[in-house]
Amino acid sequence: MLIVEVRVLGVPIPQGSMRSPAAGVVLHASGKVKPWREAMGWALRAAMTTQPVQGPVSVSLQFALPLSKRPRVFADRAPDLDKLTRAVLDALTGVVIVDDGQVVEVYAHKHYADETGVRIMVKYAGPELA
């Protein structure tokens, strides 16, 4: 059963490594990830008709990246697919799902396109809940 499906336009930003410039302070290596997660969060909130759901979910992600300077068939360069996925899972948490530990299955794909962004689809993974 489908929970939510949205398309968020913009250049997908990977959630990179964290760094700690001082004791008790943790920052993302890229300052661009927060605005990207917020854009996804707004789109997801607008599409949700319920509170965040509980239970196992399946997530499907299709990332459309800016066209490469050299034509390529596959998007086999940076950004890393796992880091792009982490940013989306963090955006889902508290909006679509209670916790990203609920995700039991992820399908993620990246390709080059004229119009950049991400298509996010979240479904229940287990038996339908009443």
Domain extents in the chain: 2-14+30-124
Which residues in the chain come in under a pLDDT of 70?
17-22, 24-30, 127-130
Token match 């396109």: residue? 113
- Domain 2-14+30-124: which CATH class? alpha beta
What confidence score (pLDDT) does residue 69 get? 83
The answer to whether 104 and 125 have CB atoms below 8 angstroms apart is yes
Global pTM reads 0.87
* pLDDT value of residue 73: 86
pLDDT at residue 30, rounded to an integer: 65
